[in-house]
Amino acid sequence: MTTTESSTAQPPTGEAPAQQQDEAPASTPAPAARPGAQIGEREARKIAEEAREKEWRKPSFGKELFLGRFRLDLIDPHPQPSPEDRERGEAYLERLREYCATIDNSTIERDAQIPDEVIQGLRELGAFGMKIDTKYGGVGLTNYYYTKSLQIIGSANPALGAMISAHQSIGVPQPLKLFGTEEQKQKFLPRLAKGEISAFLLTEPDVGSDPARLGSTATPTEDGKAYLLNGVKLWATNGVVADQLVVMAMTPRGDGRKGGITAFVVEADSPGVTVERRNAFMGLRGLENSVTRFHDVRVPAENVIGGEGKGLKIALTTLNTGRLSLPAMCAAAGKHSVAAARDWAASRVQWGRPVARHEAIAVKLAYMTASTFAMEAVLDLCTMLADDERNDIRIEAAIAKLFASEVAWNIADQLVQIRGGRGYETAASLVARGERGIPAEQLLRDLRINRIFEGATEIMHLFIAREAVDQHLAVAGDIIDPDTAFGAKAKAAGKAGLFYAGWLPTLAVGKGQVPGSYADFGKLAGHVRFVERTSRRVARSTFYGMSRWQGRMEQKQAFLSRIVDIGAELFAMSACCVRAKMLRDGPEGAEAVELANLFCAQSRLRVKALLRGLWRNTDVADGRVARRLVDGDYAWLEQGVLPLDDTGPLVSEWSPGASSEKDTSRRIPLP
Ligand SMILES: Cc1cc2nc3c(=O)[nH]c(=O)nc-3n(C[C@H](O)[C@H](O)[C@H](O)COP(=O)(O)OP(=O)(O)OC[C@H]3O[C@@H](n4cnc5c(N)ncnc54)[C@H](O)[C@@H]3O)c2cc1C
């Protein structure tokens, strides 16, 4: 059966769209039309394809899950650190814990600044070189111990965690580790390991999720020994205090040059680098986040990382493991939330009993506890998979980021609700009134950004969805490509037919249907069977979607995001079951099984709702209303209130010329 033929095929009962509501074109408005948009998308896809590591030797558990192949053997038994890594890692955590316990969160929150002595203390502990190899003076932690360290640092103050994470995961150390030459490593890594701070500068006022239109330029000098860098970069975390910058800029094509987005290491004190502003946010008040301007900044040619045109590949590959920092921060926030909610709900008596004993609060406490267990299960599994370099963990890391950033936000919101008015009150105000300074509202504010940076939730959905439909695109690519000639399409259809003839039957039956299978998981076996069955069902649904929408599938973002959310739930369930199995003979074994059991039961309800939503939804109506809204058809609805600020441009305009402002000091106080 070819995909073209199958577009009329009816899915089996239970998966069929009983009443198709989504016949119209894409439910989500297409990106604003601009010249070259189509080419940009294709180029981005090509670059993403090229970013795949050739040397991965093991399949990805997450990717297989989307294809209906539940490869439990890839994650069970749960991977473990080597004895040497464990010894080094545990000793480091001990030292870090001792130091971080001395950091005062309230001072950072009050002053909107991380004190110099805190940065110095972390420097002395080697925190700016945690992942840098020992041969360059770093601590040489594995991904697992690095994220455990981040949990400790982030729990002292989240802006501090963000500083270390931006420096270590996306700043200079990681791209150099992956793509740097030996000379570059020797030149920059020892300085970073000793405590120089780095930042990663990709975003620009006009360029956010879609970096293909980058405006910053790097023009080769006539002698070919350097580049002249020009442009403005927005929201660079650490940009105010950094010593070294990774800057993404466009190099020109032609004259034998491939050109394209290119990554440079730039010394922050180079002439022509101006920190124009320090930005202030809803949360992470201690963040040293900048607007940085480059005016004819001379960057030596030997500071190009990985070659011209490799910038996007470097950014994508760096984020493969770099993305694991954020779930670490989220899991830490989950632990704080659970502890604060427990304390309060157990002691606060209303209507004759502790609020924990009122069912409305009890269900929140249970959700928070089970979900925090799940966040840690997902994080630890992913980081340990990342520590085996044979593994392809792009999907796993993206799922961890997506899942943890959404869940942690819900958890902190529930903490605020459980603490009632005190949840909304600042810690400083609580302390001033003589109460314990639980920073619940700070937790919520600090967490919000995790759903936006390092790949916003919507972008994570698309990134993971691409993998979910990747196999289909690989075999059916030419069929759905509008530019492909008829002959090539026919050939591709034959190839796809062969693939689906072999693949579809494998999705019909599996171990999850066999009563008593996965018995080694004890009382969790039923959940493992559910994951296996649902994994096949998701793959079938993806196939039906693909058959139905073909070339438009990529624009069915609402459908794809549900597929991805189901996959993320299945992944989290798998991680919980495997973790509980690992822990069950230990001192907290019974509790771990209980929490895994509860998380899976709650997750199954969410999965069932998502499965229903695949075919019964308001996506088409939503798309129509969104288009009319943007056209101004509901402007009357906005009447009756005073306008929000409607002065000035929505996006700041900038010119590549020199800044009129002087170089600012390295510490800029916020109002
Ligand atoms: C506190 C903070 C720290 C940051 N640190 C750094 C840093 O260190 N270095 C750096 O380079 N950048 C940094 N950023 C920038 C951050 O990575 C961007 O904010 C992020 O990439 C999103 O870009 P944007 O804000 O321009 O949103 P846009 O790209 O303008 O997106 C707006 C909305 O549309 C959605 N959207 C966009 N495209 C699509 C699509 N194709 N389909 C569906 N939905 C879509 C987005 O998900 C989002 O919800 C930081 C930002 C903040 C606020």
pLDDT tens, 515-564? Answer: 999 999 999 999 999 999 999 999 999 989 988 887 788 889 999 999 99
Q: What pLDDT does residue 23 have? A: 33
Gap between the Cα atoms of 536 and 506, Å rounded: 8
Is the CB–ligand 1 distance for residue 458 below 6 Å? yes
Q: In terms of DSSP H, where are the helices of 229-324? A: 311-322
Is 454 catalytic? The answer is: yes
β-pair partners for 230: 217
CB proximity list for 188: less than 8 A, separation 6 or greater: 172, 176, 180, 244, 265
Q: Around Cβ 14, how many Cβ atoms within 10 Å?
A: 10
Greatest pairwise CA separation for the chain in angstroms: 82
Q: Could you tell me the distance, in angstroms and rounded to a whole number, from the CA of residue 283 to the centre of ligand 1?
A: 16
Is the CB–ligand 1 distance for residue 201 below 6 Å? yes
Is the CB–ligand 1 distance for residue 236 below 6 Å? yes
> How much is the average pLDDT of 557-573?
97
- Give, using CA atoms, the residue closest to atom 2 of ligand 1: 235
- pTM of the predicted model over 0.85: yes
Closest ligand 1 atom, CA of 454? 17
Residue 349 has pLDDT above 70, yes or no: yes
Q: Report the chain's C-alpha Rg in angstroms.
A: 26
Pocket test for ligand 1, best of 28, 200, 202, 203 (most atoms within 8 A of CB): 203
CB proximity list for 416: less than 8 A, separation 6 or greater: 423, 424, 440, 441, 444
Closest Cα partner for 21 from 626, 612, 629?
612
Q: Are 148 and 174 in contact (CB under 8 A)?
A: no
Pocket test for ligand 1, best of 167, 198, 209 (most atoms within 8 A of CB): 209
DSSP structure class, residue 78: P
**How many angstroms from the chain centroid is the CA of residue 7?**
34
Q: Are 538 and 532 in contact (CB under 8 A)?
A: no
> How much is the average pLDDT of 317-333?
93
Q: What pLDDT does residue 30 have? A: 33
Gap between the Cα atoms of 190 and 603, Å rounded: 45
Q: What pLDDT does residue 58 have? A: 84
Q: Could you tell me the distance, in angstroms and rounded to a whole number, from the CA of residue 426 to the centre of ligand 1?
A: 28
293, two tokens: 């301007």
Closest Cα partner for 217 from 297, 285, 323?
297
Q: Are 186 and 367 in contact (CB under 8 A)?
A: no
Look-up of token digits 């267990």: 373
3-state SS class at 51: coil
> How much is the average pLDDT of 360-371?
98
Look-up of token digits 């074994």: 589
- CATH number of the structural domain 198-319: 2.40.110.10
Q: Could you tell me the distance, in angstroms and rounded to a whole number, from the CA of residue 456 to the centre of ligand 1?
A: 6
Closest Cα partner for 60 from 49, 47, 50, 75?
75
Matching fold, domains 83-193 and 323-457: no
DSSP structure class, residue 207: B
- Give, using CA atoms, the residue closest to atom 14 of ligand 1: 235
Task: Name the band, by pLDDT with cuts 50, 70 and 90, for residue 666.
Answer: low
Q: What pLDDT does residue 553 have? A: 82
> How much is the average pLDDT of 161-174?
96
- Give, using CA atoms, the residue closest to atom 51 of ligand 1: 235
474, two tokens: 């690989």
Gap between the Cα atoms of 290 and 275, Å rounded: 6
Pocket test for ligand 1, best of 213, 275, 452, 556 (most atoms within 8 A of CB): 452
Q: What pLDDT does residue 2 have? A: 30
Per-residue model confidence as pLDDT tens digits over 275-300: 999 999 999 999 999 999 999 999 99
Task: Name the band, by pLDDT with cuts 50, 70 and 90, for residue 658.
Answer: low
CB proximity list for 579: less than 8 A, separation 6 or greater: 78, 373, 376, 377, 380, 381, 592, 596
Is the CB–ligand 1 distance for residue 202 below 6 Å? yes
Gap between the Cα atoms of 129 and 625, Å rounded: 50
Q: In terms of DSSP H, where are the helices of 125-249? A: 143-156, 158-165, 173-179, 182-193
Closest ligand 1 atom, CA of 462? 42
Query: Any idea where the domains of the chain sit in the sequence?
Result: 39-76+469-622, 83-193, 198-319, 323-457
412, two tokens: 């902190």
Question: What's the CATH class of domain 83-193?
Answer: mainly alpha
Bigger pLDDT: 11 or 580?
580
Closest ligand 1 atom, CA of 170? 8
Characterize 606-617 residue by residue with b for buried, 16 or more Cβ atoms within 10 angstroms of its Cβ, and e for exposed.
ebeebbebbbeb
Amino acid at position 566, single letter:
I
Bigger pLDDT: 653 or 610?
610
10, two tokens: 């009816």
Q: What pLDDT does residue 35 have? A: 28
Q: Are 419 and 426 in contact (CB under 8 A)?
A: no
Q: Could you tell me the distance, in angstroms and rounded to a whole number, from the CA of residue 457 to the centre of ligand 1?
A: 10
Q: Please give the share of the chain, as a percent, with pLDDT higher than 70.
A: 88
> How much is the average pLDDT of 400-420?
98
Looking at 276, 396, 425, 454, which residue is catalytic?
A: 454
160, two tokens: 């501090």
- In 3-state terms the chain splits into helix, strand, coil percentages (rounded to 5) of 60, 10, 30
β-pair partners for 305: 263
CB proximity list for 425: less than 8 A, separation 6 or greater: 441
Closest ligand 1 atom, CA of 207? 26
Task: Name the band, by pLDDT with cuts 50, 70 and 90, for residue 661.
Answer: low
Q: Could you tell me the distance, in angstroms and rounded to a whole number, from the CA of residue 308 to the centre of ligand 1?
A: 24
Residue 477 has pLDDT above 90, yes or no: no
Q: What pLDDT does residue 1 have? A: 29
Q: Is 94 exposed, middle or buried (0-12, 13-18, 19+ CB in 10 A)?
A: exposed
CATH code 1.20.140.10 for 323-457: yes
Residue 42: HSE in the Cβ half-sphere, 13 Å Cα cutoff? 8
Q: What pLDDT does residue 50 have? A: 58
CB proximity list for 577: less than 8 A, separation 6 or greater: 521, 524, 527, 528, 531, 596, 600
Residue 660 has pLDDT above 60, yes or no: no
Residue 512 has pLDDT above 70, yes or no: yes
Closest ligand 1 atom, CA of 455? 21
